Structure 1
Amino acid sequence: MKMRFLLPCLFLAVVSQATAYGQSSRGWVNLFNGKDLSGWKQLNGKAKYEVKNGEIVGTTVAGEPNSFLATQKNYGDFVLELELFVDPAMNSGIQFRSESRTDYQNGRVHGYQAEVDPSARAWSGGIYDEARRGWLYPMEINPLAKNAFKNNQWNKYKIECIGNQIRTWLNGVPTACLVDDKTPEGFIALQVHSIGKNDQPGKQIRWRNIRIQTSGIKAAPADRIFVVNTIPNYVSPLEKAQGFSLLWDGKTTKGWRGAYKKTFPAKGWAIENGELSVVKADGGESTNGGDIVTESQYAAFELKFDFRLTKGANSGVKYFVTESEGNKGSAIGLEYQVLDDEVHPDAKLGRDGNRTLASVYDLIKSKRPANVLRPIGEWNQGVLRVFPDKRVEHWLNGQKVIEYTRGSKEFLDLVAISKYKNWPNFGMAPKGHILLQDHGDRVSFRSLKIKML
């Protein structure tokens, strides 16, 4: 992927409403003249779009696919503001930096979408990649913002795109921050979601006060919401402001060594194209290059890491590794399991699925939602949070799948019936190394980032 210059976020001051369509007030330009759909075109489905009482009204039509009312112009860097009022029983979204090309699914609209979700799921303000990669910023990442959307009221959206940084606000609440360089510019579109042939048509969404600023824009200051960053081995300015740094530099073995060793393994690991990979061997545990560990030890931290599996592969990310048990196979520690559940037999071993992907290996089964895992050969993001009060969380692609407390009765009871029952004080070290496991299968890692908690 190409790296583009990314400005840090800066909050924009509230600016007075533009006085006339096509005219600007402090750089703002109205995209809707309040009278007709000049400057817009309809794409894909045949939902009904019309102008009533100075508003754009979208109405569902049975059996129609997703419909979009798109700007005729494309926009790259901008700040967009609009208000919307949606039927609580329907779904919608605001497309931006989006495209419709004959060479992509016969013109299907695709690109970034700010979600409009009145349902109990409450993912309004999240970022979805329409007809392409799916969810990029699900709102489980930022649960405090799930209450920002108000049903049966006008809701104000703000979308800021500057360079690779994309941010959304809903009713003044920061909802999403995405660093991504897939599409640098495209149109803006108002979605009426598809409904089935047998669904009741006629549900409506209304839009008003649609305006954009493309010159003299400034990015907002850093806040504390989670940053999803898809650019490999790159710490964005906002992540730096939150305290993140690279745990692996994407190029060398600096900061890492073999478990129980003073140097990095001479074989068994490969560094290519910004990826740190286990070299395919015999599928045995620590029989080729062996595990690698950080030179530093960590107590309370947040770790982000991308991983990519090959078919049937097994690996893991371990934490609180002390290397105190002696050089016998893989080093011991709590483990975020990395596994092809569909093929590798280990997924069916253990107890009640506690060896499946994103589980605490042999202790706690991952509560993984359906379809959250991306297919074999694609990159997934894991997040591991270890708090000072001994709480631990495992996350996968923006969904929390594990939460437990080291040293609790529940934790100790699980250790007592696991393969670790004979290890004194298993998982209770005050600090330890972070480990990437060599299980003899090709597994790749990148974008390893850490901050202290």
Structure 2
Amino acid sequence: MKRRIIFPLALLFTFLTQGQSTKEWIPLFNGKDLKEWKASENPGTFSVVDGTIKAAGPRAHLFYQGELQNHEFKNFEFRCQVKTMPGSNSGIYFHTKYQEEGWPSKGYEVQVNNTQEDWRRTGSLYGIIDTRETYVKDNEWYTESITVTDKRIVVKINDIVIVDYTEPEDPVRGEGGKARILSQGTFALQGHDPGSTVFYKDIEVRILE
């Protein structure tokens, strides 16, 4: 009986780590620790509090470095629950890679910001398709989701489409933004500044072909 259980689980693990597609939602955060994640420049900015990832402190980014897909994702659906404290800024990066210092240069950022001074609000595809509208409130959990299929990016906040963007063949990017294009890579959460406190939980992904 044990063999019948273990063998399919082993196959599923191989299936996922080799980059195959699955219709299942797979958690990226176990709610207990950050063993599959790696923080840059100021690791103390991130902590696990009551089953959530808390981002609060000097600038830092927390990169998923786990075995799923060898932390290289191309086409996917990503979703998580987010809660911002008043005046807080954060972000979710995708198609990025670990970077020791500074703002990640590779991939895209989806904004997390409901009331902080930056006018780009939650759900913006930062610097590409930005919104001034605020769709959610501080101190409340909401769902932020990102779907990438080939050259198309769809960002939703609580099932409301905020961004539906198709990357052109030769995207024009400003200075320092040449790597702000679709390719493949991992996910990262942003710790923006000491005045910002943001919580993340139920972080999961579904791999698409």
User: Which TM-score tier does this pair reach, normalised by the shorter chain?
Assistant: 0.7 to 0.9
**Is 1:334 equivalent to 2:95 in the alignment?**
no
Residue 81 of structure 2 corresponds to 306
Aligned with residue 381 of structure 1, among 103, 125, 143: 143
Structure number with bigger Rg: 1
**Is 1:270 equivalent to 2:34 in the alignment?**
no
Unaligned runs of 5+ in 1: 1-240, 348-354
Q: Is the Cα–Cα contact under 8 Å of residues 367 and 402 in structure 1 kept in the other structure?
A: no
Residue 142 of structure 1 corresponds to none
The structure 1 segments of at least 4 consecutive aligned residues displaced by more than 4 Å after TM superposition are: none
Aligned with residue 117 of structure 2, among 345, 353, 358: 345
Greater relative contact order, per chain length (Cα 8 Å cut-off, separation 6+): 2
**Is 1:392 equivalent to 2:165 in the alignment?**
no
Residues 168-214 of structure 1: CA deviation (Å, up to 9, x unaligned): xxxxxxxxxxxxxxxxxxxxxxxxxxxxxxxxxxxxxxxxxxxxxxx
Pairing 1:227-246 to 2, within 5 Å after superposition: 242-246=23-27
Q: Is the Cα–Cα contact under 8 Å of residues 318 and 336 in structure 1 kept in the other structure?
A: yes
Residues 300-355 of structure 1: CA deviation (Å, up to 9, x unaligned): 110011100000000000111134xx6441222311100123xx2211xxxxxxx2
* DSSP-derived class of the 1:437 partner: strand
CA-CA distance at 1:367 after TM superposition: 8.1
**CA distance in structure 2 between the partners assigned to 1:395 and 1:432 by the alignment:** 20
Task: Give the TM-score taking structure 2 as reference length.
Answer: 0.77
Aligned-pair identity in percent equals 21
Residue 442 of structure 1 corresponds to 197
Amino acid at match of 1:437: Q
Distance 1:313 1:425, change over 3 A: closer
Amino acid at match of 1:380: Y
Q: Is the Cα–Cα contact under 8 Å of residues 46 and 62 in structure 2 kept in the other structure?
A: no
**Is 1:253 equivalent to 2:34 in the alignment?**
yes
CA-CA distance at 1:436 after TM superposition: 0.1
Residue 207 of structure 2 corresponds to 452
Amino acid at match of 2:84: L
In the alignment of these two chains, the number of paired residues is 179
Amino acid at match of 1:426: R
Note the aligned Cα RMSD (angstroms): 2.3
Distance 1:336 1:423, change over 3 A: closer
Unaligned runs of 5+ in 2: 1-21, 66-70
Higher helix share: 2
**CA distance in structure 1 between the partners assigned to 2:160 and 2:109 by the alignment:** 18
CA-CA distance at 1:423 after TM superposition: 3.5
